[in-house]
Structure 1
């Protein structure tokens, strides 16, 4: 009986396998049609300190000369093949003869490189037509008689030790190797892992498991295909089936079934030679059919089967499976996503009809909570912490609300797992706040030491700054000591609580716990008393820990951080009015809109707010958006600004959401969608929105209403945690006329007056989705306040950069305000006047002082009789 080629290859020692891989590479690089004996012979002769070297030395063969003859024969081979080379029949004949020599003559369990060379010497005319005179002088009898002795010193000897009992290894069978089956190599038993306790139990999927049982119980076409989005639990469903089989909760026809997961990646790994992948898959199918125990195969990412093997010049793997699938001989559970199902399975009708699709939907929040409650004991045992029920509910609710692009229950499980890990780490590791303080101390100490050295070396320096650094260091050390003491106290109280709980858990059933229950209650009260509002060590996994993990992942403040955000919204008017002067009605309208969102009574699917700021230029529309980003999210970096005047053509919509497939820029993302994906909790400013093309504005219907937008790559981007602000100058003339009549009109009257103008540009359906906020022109007194604020910013900048105190003449503010009210640009002109005339004057005189070796300490800014700027620097403080 002829031995299967791949079984012979498995019998090669690691050294011989490496040499064979080198022969394949040599043939491939030369574009040969076949891998012939000479390719491997050349590798054998080139190997130093090998079996071949020992044999050549023992029998006086000059390896270099023999190698030259082999390479000469290789140069005469036919080349030019674009496909991968295949093994010639003579190579496998050589392997089979070598196996007989190794097993029968030497008693080895493997084919070593020396046996290959010896077999070639003995029967070279059988494997090649080339003539090698260098081998004629080697007597065959002596070679066989002394072969074991010659090869014994080689390092390869350890790889060919006979199996236990000292008997020669039996030859591999035609089925492909009795010692290690294909299923053992390429599959994992789910049912065995369940019995070993290595698979978590599955909850809440009884209906889907029942569907699997129904389909698997068919006589023909008994192959379920699990279809669902990533993370909904397709693999867990198969694990649930394995649990049901182990517990006997299945019909009699499935009670003794083993569920095996076939690893397609492992099946493909190393199958570079044409036909190797197909041989492996055929061996798997044959073993499943021949198995005494009924088997069910599970193939995850089943779409990878379509086309698998074809790249190596063989048949499509799916085509090999189709006959067995149709006849019911190979019960298979496959899993794939909807996109891959449409892309691969629906296009192959013959394959699709052999499977019965089972839709695996994302579970609802209630079902997801039940699933996590079932897993709680597993994660408590893994992390050694207690997971409270409020943490499970929070994990599901917060992950569904704030983590987009993933599915329940996967994202909730990951969230709960991370929270449990964080609690466990905090109980044994120094908190991050303490580490950050110690890093600050190290940085300040380095700065202090550097300044000390400069002063000691005679360089100029400020001893006052050195004293300030010493004071700062003392304060930081005090903070570290306080924080460390608090951490150690919290950790000790948590350890006492855990010890009390452990003692209570060890009380035998039926025995009254008595004092142990009291000890647990007292320890829990001690933990609550010590930890305060911001604990460094958590005793249990609670909703606050879960919220902190969500905040770290997304940047969205939840939990206590959400409480801080509520306080920020309650005081939003005061925060905004500190930066935006003269717009009390607009500020109040903005604050009211955001308070509705923060209270949770708005449409949960819509963004936090969609605000349309209308009014003349320079009255504070953009400044309000910046102030919102700073007040709500902690900085102006949390604002994305898009100048909509750049989107006056229809095709520019691709710049916002990204180019579709096949167009330039595909895969780079859009300006709007990428910004929100990276910062889902931010302010988005669409400046001068009336200048954008109407088709571009139509893009925002779904954003304003549903809080979602699909980018050019088909990904859903979540806008539900953003504040969208649009600014426009439409209706400015109406606002200014109403303001000039005297008394300030109400916001409702202004909105009613400008709505016809807005409706001429924006469609009513789009306008209805926005909250219109009018901004009024700024008067003289307000302009004075704004000018004073801008001058204060300039003074702060000089103080921080050069330690210069700055004073301004009283009439300076009046002049700035008067010049701004005369301009149509409004308050924006203050910055223009300062940057265009005052700052150049200050910078020129300051640089002259510094170049002359003077260190000014005070600057006074006044006006010349002609109305220009007058700056005067002094070296003493005023």
Structure 2
């Protein structure tokens, strides 16, 4: 318990002794002083109290029902009398109502009854305590009401506190929350526990409709969870003494206080199921462990609770908007009718506060810090503000959110009773010369200054810079606006894109009068909450239901794999696509799950992000075997690459670097490039699905621009554009030792950070790339070391310490996940390679011409011996096979000595024996 938590020893925290108020604590029982408030819990829950409450509720419903029936009957009786006696003309006369007719008298009495019922209902609503709204920080120098700061240490000091700061938390509970607390009492009683614990409350909360919605979104089987909790709770808590009833534990009362501050910080009016779910889950390790079994952590729970709050807010706003819409006038109405009219401004603008009032804007979520920073700047020095951020990041949503808060008067005093009016630059400059546009702007500024209640909003303010007309007349409107703002008659909130701000605005006169507020991409939880606010409309349009996992993956996967756009916009677009995809795949009413999002992302990026199925799992486990069908020997390289691919697919790797960075060293013809081709074929689908760069073409410093694009050009670089279009690929850098040192620096960044910026300022993602560099550097040392009987590890160490230093810096070599030394091929390995090459020729011959090629073992050995060269590895073998096998087969085909269904047998000496096939 906190040091400032008080529990009255005299009444054991109940607030009562012998049916009367406890004199020691003045009936407060338990309390805590926190954030300039003294909270206490003063609500007795016993079987007797609950029975009494139940009886009162029944009596109230009974009386309400009787009153309603009486009013309806009296009204119907009056209508019958009017129709029966044709009193239509008399009902508008005073004599009719004072005639003393029993029916009329009965109707008038019913009106009194109705008035009493309405009064009683309104009183019940008014008496329901609301949590005061969290105030924004007032500007410096403005003093607030003094509140006692000394922590009360006993009940005597509590008595001296102002009644304004004493809050009975029980009064701020909603009906649903009160019922959950009462149900917790019944749960504790059922298990014969003396104290009502947080675990009892959690079980009670699970029976509420709102908790069912929360855990339904999380995909949790609620019935199964309740059963598990039932087994857990049987061994928790002290048994109830005979003749006693369960009472609230200190731990639970403390949770009620935590719930109050959860609601206060969330700017909620009352404590509801959502707040209780959060605080009880945070406090109890048993509950947390149970939630972890369902893969639900506190962040997930908080986000779904926020989703519940958003849904309630949207429902209430829809009801409010529907009511306002009935009262909305047919024409336009300006709030300036209550102040100074602004007809010229209205012509070129939209009143955001009026649009917010009638529900045109979606709720602004996850941007509380940015909005409060804007309020502090405006309030602190009455300065104008400019929001700087990338497109799609939410600048417009923040402006709409400010308008919504202005409507609700949930803003600092300086913004209360103000209009937020958005100036449309396109309309302002349309059909006018530059001088006419200037005149329009000055008239608008004059109207704003005279009105005194307008905050000017200008989105994409860079559109005001350098306005030019058809007759080449030009004017910089930004200077005109800067001059007007500098006079301090009014202030503005503007927005601009990041790159444009630094280039055109920051060092201009406009930049001097606008205080910059940088808007970053929301974090994961913030983006999830923004998507939750958009989910309802998308669900309605596509007739689907989103699970939390789907929304979470839309944020995480779009952030990880889609780099051309920004959160939250790109995740919202993915949500729309996934909703349409799931509805088309499984029909309307389906639940959109995380795997649906993964499938859409995989289709867009060609990156495998879906769950690993059995077929792919088998393929991953047999990668070495598949690769050895093309690559002979070189076990170390094959094992390294296969392990890296498995780690990447299982997402057990550093996500901010490429999948793997390898350097293959060895003489020519030993299989370095063939290994890369094999990886591309086995894992990426085709050996052509790679980006291959011959680094001998990048020997001068200027060739760097071929990779990333020329600084002044509009065309993208070869490497950056290829990876941007296909981010899941293999990049092969052949003979990297021949490239310029500055080129190596480029790849140093790629291997370290997993990204590269092109000439157009776009950041290209390399985190889903396998980067393989090959080099012949140190080949003589490798061959000499193998001849001397050195191990591969000893040869590698010698290469790194001596032979590679003239080519690569140590920091460059350290960026590779693996440096693999390819040893020279042996004669048996050359024979195996010859067999693979001949098998490939035979497959092509059979597929295209229906002719079977068979090669004897002696012929394979003869070809291998002829094509073996220790200096060039397997490269001469390809030429030998072309000359002795492919050329011979070509002659046989052209002279029509072999036809479909024939078998050709290659024997020693390059002789071809033909076995004719059957004639059809």
TM-score higher than 0.5: yes
Note closer, same or farther for the CA distance 1:355–1:564 as it changes in structure 2 (3 Å cut): farther
Q: Distance in 1 between matches of 2:733 and 2:797?
A: 23
1:189 partnered with 2:351: yes
1:610 partnered with 2:661: yes
Unmatched tracts of structure 2, length 5 or more? 1-340
Provide the secondary structure at the position in 2 that maps to 1:739: helix
Q: Distance in 2 between matches of 1:269 and 1:797?
A: 67
Q: Distance in 2 between matches of 1:822 and 1:710?
A: 44
Q: Distance in 1 between matches of 2:358 and 2:584?
A: 28
Shift of 1:875: 5.7
Q: Distance in 1 between matches of 2:503 and 2:806?
A: 45
Which residue is equivalent to 1:359? 518
Unmatched tracts of structure 1, length 5 or more? 1-178, 428-490, 499-538
Q: Distance in 1 between matches of 2:428 and 2:877?
A: 71
Note closer, same or farther for the CA distance 1:566–1:828 as it changes in structure 2 (3 Å cut): farther
Deviations 1:596-635 (A, max 9, x none): 4444443322111010111121121111101111222222
2:420 to 241, 259, 265: 259
2:372 to 203, 210, 216: 210
Shift of 1:187: 2.0
Contact 1:208 1:360 in 2 (8 A): yes
Deviations 1:93-122 (A, max 9, x none): xxxxxxxxxxxxxxxxxxxxxxxxxxxxxx
Structure 1 residues 671-820: aligned runs within 5 Å: 671-740=718-787, 747-755=792-800, 756-770=802-816, 771-820=818-867
1:237 to 382, 398, 402: 398
Provide the secondary structure at the position in 1 that maps to 2:486: helix
Structure 1 residues 77-226: aligned runs within 5 Å: 181-217=343-379, 222-226=383-387
Note closer, same or farther for the CA distance 1:847–1:263 as it changes in structure 2 (3 Å cut): farther
Deviations 1:257-289 (A, max 9, x none): 222222222333333x45343344344434434
Which residue is equivalent to 1:321? 481
1:583 to 631, 634, 638: 634
Note closer, same or farther for the CA distance 1:380–1:236 as it changes in structure 2 (3 Å cut): same
Shift of 1:253: 3.7
2:499 to 330, 339, 358: 339
Structure 1 residues 628-707: aligned runs within 5 Å: 628-661=679-712, 666-707=713-754
Shift of 1:575: 1.5
Q: Distance in 2 between matches of 1:420 and 1:611?
A: 40
1:407 partnered with 2:566: yes
Shift of 1:764: 0.6
Shift of 1:578: 1.4
Contact 1:277 1:309 in 2 (8 A): no
Shift of 1:183: 4.0
Contact 1:310 1:316 in 2 (8 A): no
Contact 2:851 2:904 in 1 (8 A): no
Structure 1 residues 194-593: aligned runs within 5 Å: 194-217=356-379, 222-271=383-432, 273=433, 275-291=435-451, 294-309=453-468, 312-348=472-508, 350-427=509-586, 491=587, 498=589, 539-560=590-611, 567-593=618-644
Shift of 1:873: 7.7
Shift of 1:321: 1.7
Contact 1:688 1:729 in 2 (8 A): yes
Provide the secondary structure at the position in 1 that maps to 2:895: helix
Q: Distance in 1 between matches of 2:699 and 2:475?
A: 53
Q: Distance in 2 between matches of 1:565 and 1:750?
A: 37
Contact 1:858 1:877 in 2 (8 A): no
Q: Distance in 2 between matches of 1:202 and 1:226?
A: 15
Q: Distance in 2 between matches of 1:813 and 1:690?
A: 35
Q: Distance in 2 between matches of 1:562 and 1:285?
A: 64
Deviations 1:693-716 (A, max 9, x none): 222212211111111112223322
Provide the secondary structure at the position in 1 that maps to 2:387: strand
Deviations 1:15-72 (A, max 9, x none): xxxxxxxxxxxxxxxxxxxxxxxxxxxxxxxxxxxxxxxxxxxxxxxxxxxxxxxxxx
Provide the secondary structure at the position in 2 that maps to 1:362: coil
Provide the secondary structure at the position in 2 that maps to 1:371: helix
Contact 1:680 1:722 in 2 (8 A): yes
Q: Distance in 2 between matches of 1:873 and 1:183?
A: 94
Q: Distance in 1 between matches of 2:355 and 2:919?
A: 80
Contact 2:867 2:878 in 1 (8 A): no
Contact 2:434 2:469 in 1 (8 A): no
Contact 1:309 1:317 in 2 (8 A): no
Contact 2:422 2:457 in 1 (8 A): yes
Q: Distance in 1 between matches of 2:449 and 2:554?
A: 45
Shift of 1:185: 4.2
- What TM-score do the two structures reach when normalised by structure 1? 0.62
Contact 1:735 1:750 in 2 (8 A): yes
Shift of 1:728: 1.0
Q: Distance in 2 between matches of 1:359 and 1:645?
A: 44
Contact 1:396 1:412 in 2 (8 A): yes
Contact 1:585 1:747 in 2 (8 A): no
Note closer, same or farther for the CA distance 1:201–1:746 as it changes in structure 2 (3 Å cut): farther
Contact 1:638 1:679 in 2 (8 A): no
Contact 1:641 1:685 in 2 (8 A): yes
Note closer, same or farther for the CA distance 1:788–1:716 as it changes in structure 2 (3 Å cut): same
Higher mean C-alpha deviation, range 830-839 or range 559-568: 559-568
Q: Distance in 2 between matches of 1:783 and 1:791?
A: 12
Shift of 1:234: 1.1
Note closer, same or farther for the CA distance 1:843–1:572 as it changes in structure 2 (3 Å cut): same
Shift of 1:749: 3.1
Structure 1 residues 12-23: aligned runs within 5 Å: none
Shift of 1:226: 0.5
Q: Distance in 1 between matches of 2:386 and 2:902?
A: 80
Note closer, same or farther for the CA distance 1:551–1:183 as it changes in structure 2 (3 Å cut): farther
Note closer, same or farther for the CA distance 1:808–1:647 as it changes in structure 2 (3 Å cut): same
Q: Distance in 1 between matches of 2:616 and 2:758?
A: 30
Q: Distance in 2 between matches of 1:562 and 1:703?
A: 31
Contact 1:219 1:328 in 2 (8 A): no
Contact 1:841 1:871 in 2 (8 A): no
1:626 to 647, 663, 677: 677
Shift of 1:228: 1.7
Q: Distance in 1 between matches of 2:615 and 2:703?
A: 39
Which residue is equivalent to 1:516? none
Q: Distance in 2 between matches of 1:841 and 1:185?
A: 85
Note closer, same or farther for the CA distance 1:871–1:697 as it changes in structure 2 (3 Å cut): farther
Note closer, same or farther for the CA distance 1:239–1:836 as it changes in structure 2 (3 Å cut): farther
Q: Distance in 2 between matches of 1:566 and 1:355?
A: 57
Shift of 1:182: 4.5
Q: Distance in 2 between matches of 1:829 and 1:341?
A: 61
Note closer, same or farther for the CA distance 1:218–1:694 as it changes in structure 2 (3 Å cut): closer
1:857 partnered with 2:901: yes
Shift of 1:871: 6.6
Note closer, same or farther for the CA distance 1:287–1:718 as it changes in structure 2 (3 Å cut): same
Provide the secondary structure at the position in 2 that maps to 1:759: coil
Provide the secondary structure at the position in 2 that maps to 1:860: strand
Q: Distance in 1 between matches of 2:613 and 2:484?
A: 58
Deviations 1:705-755 (A, max 9, x none): 11111222332211111000011112323333343456xx65433322322
Note closer, same or farther for the CA distance 1:832–1:327 as it changes in structure 2 (3 Å cut): same
Q: Distance in 1 between matches of 2:853 and 2:809?
A: 52
